[in-house]
Amino acid sequence: MFDIVAKRDIQIYDFDLHLVSALDTEHIKVFIRKGTHEGYTDTPAAWSLIGSTNVQPQHRRTSIPVGTFDPFVIEKSTRMAIYVTATNPVMRYSGGNAVGDVFASNDDLYLLEGTGKAYPFQEEGDYAPRVFNGSVRYTVLED
């Protein structure tokens, strides 16, 4: 789980993931919620499932197939929480400094450090702080 804060209106249409698996396919789900993930790591009702699919793990560049979820908009100055999870423990992430710290940014968005979470919303522990290992694919909407 991690948060994105938009500096401009953006539309997210895909993610690349870092998966390590010996299997030919893995099942993933994508959830979102407006606001932060903090305080909602164990609350499935606070999240919206926007897509679910099988992927073929390619390690650092496993793309979620286009069309798995409808692109969603994050408006300027708005925070959106993202939870991409797999049914098996194959998602990779890095350690961070503090949940909510900016890990990466550009002219369009801030990518914040988040929380590692087992599938789906398991209460047996959060791993934090963690950094999403992947790419966010998006377009900038007209101002």
Are the C-beta atoms of residues 126 and 2 closer than 8 Å to each other?
A: no
Are the C-beta atoms of residues 126 and 117 closer than 8 Å to each other?
A: yes
Task: For residue 84, list its beta bridge partners.
Answer: 30
pLDDT tens digits for range 59-98: 888 999 989 999 999 999 999 999 999 999 999 999 999 9
pTM of the full structure:
0.96
* Residue that is written with structure tokens 């710290």 in the block: 101
Q: Give yes or no for residue 125 having a pLDDT over 90.
A: no
pLDDT at 59: 80
Domain that residue 80 falls in: 2-140
CATH number for the domain spanning 68: value is: 2.60.120
What average pLDDT score do residues 96-104 get? Answer: 98
Number of structural domains found in the chain: 1
Distance of alpha carbon 47 from alpha carbon 30, whole angstroms: 10
- Beta strand pairing call for 10-19 and 26-34: unpaired
